[in-house]
Amino acid sequence: MLQEECDKQADRILSEFRRKRGVRDKVSRVREAMYGSAGTSGAANKIAAKDLDHVLNEMILLQARAEMYNKFVRKRVLVRLNMPVVQATSVFRTFCILLG
């Protein structure tokens, strides 16, 4: 139950982040600037590097916090299962390989 609430809150946070930072618009502008588009001028549609840098830094922080939470949950599960860390790491890697 707690994890479900965490998932809902994470979804809300990411949705708000995308909306407030205009991630979709920035991605499309970068694509157009890199690959061009039939009806647009690449120079007119370029995005400032500072704008991208700020958003990318925030995305890095979000990813780092998500990874920290993932490690926390993994350790808590290992404690509950009374599984040695080495064995659990092996099981986790096997699981990740199976998922592809």
- The pLDDT tens digits for 59-75 are 999 999 999 988 888 88
**Do the domain assignments include residue 43?**
yes
CB atoms within 10 A of CB 90: 11
Q: Domain span at residue 6?
A: 1-47
Q: How far is 16 from 36, CA to CA, in rounded Å?
A: 29
**Do the domain assignments include residue 13?**
yes
Element (H, E) at 44: none
The pTM assigned to this predicted structure is 0.65
How many residues are given for the chain? 100
**Do the domain assignments include residue 37?**
yes
**Do the domain assignments include residue 26?**
yes
Per the structure, how many domains does the chain have?
1
Q: How far is 59 from 65, CA to CA, in rounded Å?
A: 10
**Do the domain assignments include residue 56?**
no
**Do the domain assignments include residue 93?**
no
Tens digit of pLDDT for each residue in 33-61? 888 765 555 566 678 888 899 999 999 99
Taking only Cα atoms into account, the Rg of the chain, rounded to an integer number of angstroms, comes to 20
**Do the domain assignments include residue 7?**
yes
